[in-house]
Amino acid sequence: MFREILDVDRPSRIDFGLGDETFKQDWTPLTEDRLGWLAFNPRTRRGLLAAARHRAGRLFGLSGRRNRV
């Protein structure tokens, strides 16, 4: 299936999604960083909690996710 896609369709880009699993490195050594925005409403309890949870994860490395493809 992949050979057919690569040989016939000739895509200019293949996106394996987020993560750095080894099978992705088997297909291509190229990586790209992705940047994004997060917004929280500090006027609400829910917004404050989400912001605090995000900040704690960044400070203590608790996010468990890497944003590399």
Considering the domain boundaries, does residue 3 fall inside one? no
Does 10 fall in a domain?
Answer: no
Digit-coded pLDDT (tens) for 4-42: 888 999 888 888 887 778 888 888 778 888 788 999 999
Q: What is the pLDDT of residues 32-54, one digit of tens each?
A: 887 889 999 999 999 999 999 99
* CA separation for the pair 3, 31 (Å, rounded): 21
Is residue 38 one of the residues assigned to a domain?
Answer: yes
pLDDT higher than threshold 70 for residue 65: no
SS3 14: coil
Q: Does a structural domain hold residue 24?
A: yes
Q: What is the pLDDT of residue 67?
A: 47
Domain hosting 32: range is: 18-69
Residue 51 lies in a domain: yes
CA dihedral 58, 14, 3, 5 (to 10 degrees): 140
Domain membership flag for residue 5: no
In-domain check, residue 13 = no
**What distance in Å separates the CA atoms of residue 43 and residue 9, rounded to the nearest whole number?**
50
Structure confidence at residue 62 as a pLDDT band (50, 70, 90): low
Q: What is the pTM of this model?
A: 0.42
